[in-house]
Amino acid sequence: MSAPAFARRTPPARRRSVVLTVVMSLFLLYTLLPLFWLVINATKTQGDLFSTFGLWFGDSFNLGDNIVETFTYRDGIFLRWLGNTLLYVVLGAGGATVLATMAGYGLAKYDFRGRKAVFAVVIGAVAVPGTALAVPTFLMFSQLGLTNTPWAIIIPSLISPFGLYLMWVFASDAVPTELLEAARVDGAGEFRTFFTISAKLLAPGIVTVLLFAVVATWNNYFLPLIMLSDPAWYPLTVGLNQWNAQATGAAAQPIYNLVITGSLLSIIPIVVAFLLLQRFWQSGLSAGSVKQ
């Protein structure tokens, strides 16, 4: 009778808490294990990658040499890919954030004919995966002569239906209509009101949209793969995959240590961006969820 008595004395909430803790611990392990593997193997030499256990260090700590070799391999093409990725992020993700912010603000705070139709189109665009639009986009850009140029990556990145929808919802509650009316009574124009008043109130939402856009552009693989044929314009995603294919091809040149080290270096800027902007991102996600 001791076991049933103990079961009756155990609060259901505590049992659920234990189960949730175990599940989240497994999820955390599943999430961090690939990153741990990446960090460990970036410290190994080419030979140690296949002669030692994957989740532990090799005979020598070779991280510094791997980083130097990654940056100098093939005349420093990795640096060129890193610069290309930064270019696509700054112009593509930055432009997408600006357009989504202004469009979402306008749809949230101005009444005009066809507003509901625009809302339906935005919702429909959110539901369409980007890979489904890659081939039509390639055909259109091919006719315009823009393939194999940076514009083939930057222009499609400027469109962010999810970012627009997020800013629409956020601006509806973050910017009081009474405040805008007071600014108009004081003689402020619409652009001055937006940049001096509304933009400050929209800052958490802007940072949230920016982070989503930066991650999407930084990790973009399929679109550059079909748009670009010149390795000089590759982003990191396509360039590292090319190195990986080179290591496994018929005339394979073993550079797995460079692929792993390059992959580790490519995620550092994203991690830093999330750590620096985390508090804005969290407040942006929760803002508007509770109405006064």
252 CB-near residues (< 8 Å, 6+ apart): 246
Which amino acid is residue 39, in one-letter code? V
CA 81 to chain centre: 17
Q: Judge contact between 231 and 246, C-beta under 8 A.
A: no
Full pLDDT tens readout for the chain, 292 residues: 445 554 456 566 677 788 888 999 999 999 899 999 999 999 998 888 888 777 888 788 899 999 999 999 989 999 999 999 999 999 999 999 999 999 999 999 988 888 889 888 888 888 888 778 888 999 999 999 999 999 999 999 999 999 999 999 999 988 888 988 998 888 888 889 998 889 888 988 999 899 999 999 999 999 999 999 999 999 999 999 999 887 665 555 678 899 999 999 999 999 888 888 777 665 544 454 444 4
Cα–Cα distance for residue pair 148/230, rounded to 1 Å: 7
So what's the pLDDT on residue 281? 61
Structure tokens at 90: 């700054």
Ramachandran region, residue 280 (left: φ > 0; alpha: ψ -120 to 50; beta: rest)? alpha
Q: Judge contact between 179 and 110, C-beta under 8 A.
A: no
Domains of the chain: 2-65 (no CATH), 73-286 (1.10.3720.10)
So what's the pLDDT on residue 249? 57
Nearest alpha-carbon partner for 72 in 261, 228, 270: 261
Which amino acid is residue 286, in one-letter code? S
So what's the pLDDT on residue 292? 42
Cα–Cα distance for residue pair 170/236, rounded to 1 Å: 33
Is 246 buried (19+), middle (13-18) or exposed (0-12) by CB count in 10 A? middle
So what's the pLDDT on residue 288? 45
| SS3 per residue for the chain | CHHHHHHHHCCHHHHHHHHHHHHHHHHHHHHHHHHHHHHHHCCCCCCHHHHCCCCCCCCCCCHHHHHHHHHHCCCCHHHHHHHHHHHHHHHHHHHHHHHHHHHHHHHHHCCCCCHHHHHHHHHHHHHCCHHHHHHHHHHHHHHHCCCCCCHHHHHHHCCCHHHHHHHHHHHHHHCCHHHHHHHHHCCCCHHHHHHHHHHHHCHHHHHHHHHHHHHHHHCCCHHHHHHCCCHHHCCHHHHHHHHHHHHHCCCCCCCHHHHHHHHHHHHHHHHHHHHHHHHHHHHHHHCCCCCC
So what's the pLDDT on residue 283? 56
∠ Cα 188 190 191 (to 5°): 100
